[in-house]
Structure 1
Amino acid sequence: MREPYLDGLRGWAAIAVVLHHLLHITIFPGWRNYLPAIPFFADGTFAVFVFFVLSGYVLSAGFFKTGQRAVVVDLALRRYFRLTIPILVISAIGAAMMYAGWMVNGHAGYAAGSWFWWSYFYQFEPSVADMLNFSLYRVYVDANAMTSYNSSLWTMPVEMQGSIAVFAVLLVAGGSRSARLAGHALLLGATWWLDSSIFALALGCALADFRYSRHFHQFEVSEKRVMLSRLMILSGLMLAAMRWEDNSPVQLAFASLALIFGVMLNDGVRRALSAPISQWVGRLSFSIYLVQIPVMCSFTAWGFMALYQGHGISALSLLALFVSSFALIMLSAMAFYPVEKLGIMVGRKFSQAIFKLARPTVLPLRTE
């Protein structure tokens, strides 16, 4: 049973990341320091943690629905190709744009007052060998945005390492309820103690286990379901907006969990997130996330410098730059989407080939 509303939520989270960055570099540099109570639609950091919790949930939901280890192995075999092929292509595009001299964000960042963020990107000498090393390996172990071919990819070490941790818990614990609870406790405790963003994926995995247990049904049929849903959504938004640190992994993970759980219980929100526009942005979410930084460091930076010309920029000009940049990001995501589909297809083919070779040894696992 697919849950399309979660795809919609992921899509709007991707839009939130784009709005967060565009606000930062066009309308109000450093706005997060002055307006902490910005809602979800402009809080990119919170939106990324929604991604993380959703990743932990989606990667483990199939196992909890079917009780088969084969589902986990299938996703594990697909994961590297699903992520790496789009990363390789967008990194190659970024390197080519650097060679062409199109990344003019260095000067634009200083002019915009974003010297501590925007101006840092693409300030190194690219090479084919380094780009390949980054795309195929380094992106999963090094989150340094200053040496990245796409600074948005700081999330990939969390995604890949968190995926491996979730898969390990599911494969080791298997169908034993007590073993799964111990696995959840171990992963949650370790990542909390380390103050790691992987804690969010661990929460997503635990949420999937709860979602497909008999206990969740009690919430679904409760007379107070709507009130509880609204309370959870509001609590998640408030916890994120009033966080004491901008990048507090544990707090942001709990805020994301509350938001997602509230959405699960709210029929109206689920319908809205299942609407065609929400499903469209959901399909494009990873592509949107990948193309935003190259667009902002080229087109948006060029437009800013053209409008700036050594003095200030009018509010109307900034608004026009904001809107045109957003439109170009969406068009670029649509053009990039076939690359993402290629990654999905290659991952699926690879998994099918491995299963075909190992089919006699792959047995379904029944839950208790």
Structure 2
Amino acid sequence: MSTSPTPVPPAPRHLRYLDGLRGLAALGVLLNHYLTAFYPTMLTGEAATAHLPQWPGFEYALAATPLNLLRSNGVGVCVFFVLSGFVLSEAYFRRPHPLTLQAQAARRYLRLMLPVAASALLGFAGLRLDWFRNDEVAAVSGAAWFGRSWQTQPSVLQFVKDVVFDIPLAGEPAYNPVLWTLHLELMGSFLVFALLAFFGTARNRGLIYLAAATLLFLSPWNLYLVAFVLGVALNDWHRHGPAVPAAGRPWLVGLLLLGFVGLGSYPTTYFTGLAASPYRWLLLPRLGPDHSELLHHIAAAALLLGAVLLSVRLQRLLQARWLVFLGSVSFGLYLLHFLVLGSFSARLFLGLHARLGYHLSFGLMALASVPVLLLAAYALHRWVIEPSSALSRRVYGRWFQPRPAPAPAAAE
């Protein structure tokens, strides 16, 4: 199952509303994993795994109606990738110089992989110490996808190999299922740097973005990479494109948001009733449900960001303190939430379920998990992610940053 969003660089201070958007996307991903681990019909639409028979159709509605946006994981992942393209290109568009891209590229691996290694180490310890109870929860809830996590017991040597090579190059999820996105984040980051290095000052950059997105769509590479190109294109349009007349902005924002709702709520490939749902009309010819889902969710993420860039009201809403805080710790939340779900949350639910009803056990478990998730995410952000960023700056300054040219000798 596709899981969480990838880490996005912090937004510049004048674009803090992007942190709020990132926090909103992180909240959607977290809700998706918790809800569908215990109420899998919200993902698949299958009546056999429904746990709310007193509300017939409610769980199905969260799988195949616009309500799907409340727990949509796929569009959340795409929002993060589009934001990566946007924010990674921001420094270059503010200072279009090769050294800007060099500094970002030289620091990117360390900034990502040190926190990821910490997350993988926790997952490895959890496997060795038998922390996880996801399979037992799946037996009760019917969430087969959740039960398939943490199925192997890698050796220490295999763990080292996976952290150094397989996670950044192939997204190895053995220790933490959300790590499947890391190789896409690295590939997408360097795609952004290459696109800007070769074409960042070209006159007809819009055509180049279109050609790059088309080639990626037709290529055997992962379709998610298109989202990074769209993020760069949106930033370029935001900075250098023609101004939208004030009178037409509300209408355009409304259309973009309608498009976001329609495309962003497209069901996942786990949904079994696509042929009978209104979304069948969005199934693209000659493409399977998985490619249709990806294209619709990528387009929805771009439409949402476009609406935010055009609407001062949306920007103000997204600068709510709780959303900005979620955005600031979203990388830590991404790296840890699935580990907490499979261990602390799963164990607490099973202990409560032996004494209380299913729904009360889920509710109490969810309430108890919120502070654990927030504290764990903040701790990782404070003690691992921020030091990793500082270390990457020091390494770049010592080993990669060009030295200033010596001053010419004074004439005698």
Task: Tell me if TM exceeds 0.5.
Answer: yes
Distance of 1:353 and 1:177 partners within structure 2: 36
The residue that corresponds to 2:199 in the other structure is 173
Counterpart for residue 202 of structure 1: 229
Gaps of 5+ in 1: 362-368
1:19-45: CA deviation from partner (whole Å, max 9, x where unpaired): 00000112x113123322225331111
Give the match for residue 262 of structure 2.
Answer: 238
1:320 aligned residue (358, 361, 364): 364
Name the SS for the 1:242 alignment partner: coil
The counterpart of 1:142, out of the listed 170, 185, 190, is 170
Q: State the one-letter code of the partner of 1:126.
A: P
Cα deviation, residue 212, structure 1: 1.2
Secondary structure of the 1:177 match is coil
Q: Identify the residue that residue 100 of structure 2 maps to in structure 1.
A: 71
Change (3 A) 1:326 1:45: farther
Counterpart Cα distance in 1 of 2:87 and 2:37: 33
Q: Computing the radius of gyration over CA atoms, which structure comes out larger, 1 or 2?
A: 2
- 1:92 aligned partner: 121
For residue 22 of structure 1, give the secondary structure of its aligned residue in structure 2. Answer: helix
**Cα displacement string for residues 203-230 of structure 1 (whole angstroms, at most 9, x for unaligned residues):** 1111111111041xx12x4212122112
Q: In structure 2, what is the Cα distance between the partners aligned to 1:267 and 1:303?
A: 43
Query: Take 1:269 and 1:143, find their aligned partners in 2: how far apart are those partners?
Result: 34
Instruction: Note if 1:334 corresponds to 2:345.
Output: no
CA distance in 2, matches of 1:183, 1:176: 9
Report the TM-score, using the length of structure 1 for normalisation.
0.89
What is the distance in 1 between the residues matched to 2:393 and 2:405? 19
Relative to structure 1, the CA distance from residue 74 to residue 316 in structure 2 (aligned partners, 3 Å threshold; closer, same or farther) is same
Please state whether the residue corresponding to 1:130 is helix, strand or coil.
helix
Residue 122 of structure 1 is matched in structure 2 by 150
**185-194 or 153-162, larger mean C-alpha shift:** 185-194
Matched, 1:20 2:49: no
Q: Which has the higher contact order (CA 8 A, sep 6+)?
A: 1
Once the two structures are TM-superposed, the CA of residue 69 in structure 1 deviates from its matched residue by 2.1
State the Cα deviation string for residues 216-266 of structure 1 (Å, max 9, x = none). Answer: xx12x4212122112212211221113544662222111000001101111
Superposed CA RMSD in Å reads 2.2
Contact 2:134 2:147 in 1 (8 A): yes
Say which of 159, 164, 167 aligns to 2:185: 159
Distance 1:211 1:264 in 2: 7
Report the structure, 1 or 2, having the larger helix content: 1
Residues 1:313 and 1:359: Cα distance change in structure 2 (over 3 Å): farther
Amino acid at match of 2:140: A
Q: Which structure 2 segments of 5+ residues have no match?
A: 1-11, 46-62, 268-282, 284-288, 407-412
Moved over 3 A (4+): 180-183, 242-247, 354-361
Residue 190, structure 1, aligned to residue 215, structure 2? yes
Q: Aligned equivalents of 1:153 and 1:83: distance in 2?
A: 11
Q: Does structure 2 retain, via aligned residues, the 8 Å contact 1:105–1:301?
A: yes
